[in-house]
Amino acid sequence: MKSRFFCLLLSGFCTFGYAQVTSENNDRLRQGLKQYPQADANKDGILTMEEARAFLASKKSAPPTKTEAKPGAMKPDAADVSYGPHERNKLDLYLAKNATGATPVVILIHGGGFRNGDKSKWASDKTVKELLERGISCAALNYPFLTDKPVQDILRDCARAVQHLRANADKWKLDKTRFASMGGSAGAGTSLWLATRDDLADPKAEDPVLRESTRLLCAVCNATQATYDVSRWESFMGPSKPEFGTSEVEAALFYHLPSIEAFETEPGKAILKECDMLSWISKDDPPLLINNSQVVEAPTNRGEWLHCIHHAREVHKVCAAAEVPCIVLQDQVEPKTDATEFLVKHLTAEAE
């Protein structure tokens, strides 16, 4: 949606508070004024940062759009469970039927470029239905968008959802030792980050939720990105093209940094490291199943730049060096691995 693009355009500037920036001296605000002339409250032809903030606030105050359930969609056993303070820190829990004891759990993370999407998509997902029938519960997450938080904080929010479920495992009869994740696009990259990131459990945390582990037994990543340190992408995909991005500052706004130059600062380097799944891969990481169906020699458009096979192959290369099991579906010799069977195998192996 255009309004979400405009909010993203402003988010980095609002975070860093450039009071003197206006559409007269900033290309992004000039573009915002052109797309959204109604943001110019005093109609003087100049969009100030104060007017931009006010317009952003008016968009955020609008009531959230309800997602209509599809015919035949499953109803969660526990809906809109809060796992954190943000309004989008919510999850739906689908409990396996006819389970005799604590069940394994698959965390379901929707895609949408960290700008849109909703957990309700999983209510009609074939794999989710199969998992429930095989005795595996599922938890579908919503998470904040880039309009409110940078990607490094969104990733931490998803990790907190894992910790929240573990902290409440007894309540829902979940096996806290058997957690996995599955997602597409942004949800795939987040699943990869959860699978590779060192454990975020803090035994000394005042919040008992944060004392829980964030580690997984496996992850399924559909149309994943290899890393959220976007400065590494050209090293395995070749040069980017202007049409692959939405603006010159898109990469900086991903982290709510003021400019690309901020990548070279110590705080910027720390953020990129935190978001770099490739650098987190180590021998103790769980098995991965990656399905990136856009098999091309080199990306020719934005969709391929974000989702093509080169992301999957770079993950596989680093995993191979670290001796981490990693299947890239497009490079697998027949028969192809099924996501349901992959998850069942790794979540129930010891119980069989």
Domains of the chain: 2-60 (no CATH), 78-351 (3.40.50.1820)
> If 0-12 CB within 10 Å is exposed, 13-18 middle and 19+ buried, where does residue 125 land?
middle
Residue 80: the pLDDT is 98
Instruction: Judge whether 184 and 223 are in contact, CB under 8 Å.
Output: yes
- The two tokens of residue 146 are 């880039």
Average pLDDT over residues 196-225: 98
Mean residue pLDDT across the chain: 88
- pTM for this entry: 0.83
CA atoms of 295 and 285, how far apart (whole Å) = 26
Q: Return the percentage of the chain with pLDDT > 90, whole number.
A: 72
Give the per-residue pLDDT at 77: 97
Cβ proximity of 278 and 314 under 8 Å: yes
The confidence score (pLDDT) of residue 62 equals 41
Dist CA 136 CA 348 (whole Å)? 9
Task: Select the more confidently predicted residue: 282 or 41.
Answer: 282
Task: List the one residue out of 47, 49, 54, 45 whose CA is nearest residue 18.
Answer: 49
**Beta strands 137-141 and 90-94: pairing type?**
antiparallel
What percentage of the chain exceeds 70 in pLDDT?
85
CA angle 84, 90, 91 (to 5 degrees): 125
Neighbouring CB atoms inside 10 A of 199's CB total 11
